[in-house]
Amino acid sequence: MALAALRGDKTVAELARLFDVPPNQITDWKTHLLERSSQVLGDSRTKAQSPDTTAMGLKIADLALKNDFLETVLTKAGMLSARR
């Protein structure tokens, strides 16, 4: 969603309605992505991490985002009765 917000095809409000998340959450994710993009993209001026640590961090963030999205969708569909 942060990438979609950066792309600018839709407004933050439109993305919030589409994905059923608060607009400020998307703004926070977008800000976080911008602040840490050099780490993610491997800016040579930053302190280098081992590739395994970077890859694992990206995978964890991706899976956490997908889990949050699925939890929201399943709860709305009535297939998930309570938050864990």
Render 7-51 in DSSP notation, one character per residue: HTSS-HHHHHHHHT--HHHHHHHHHHHHHHHHHHHT-TTSPPPPH
pLDDT given at position 33: 81
Q: Identify the DSSP state of 79.
A: S
What's the pTM value of the predicted model, to 2 decimals?
0.46
**Cα 79–69–49 angle (5° rounding)?**
140
pLDDT at residue 45 in the model: 52
Count of CB atoms situated within 10 Å of the CB of 41: 8
Q: What is the DSSP string of 56-78?
A: HHHHHHHHHHHHHHHHHHHHHTT
Read off the pLDDT of residues 45-55 as tens digits, 9 standing for 90 and up: 545 556 677 77
Walk along the chain (84 residues) in steps of 10 and give the mean pLDDT of each run. 78 86 87 78 56 80 88 84 57
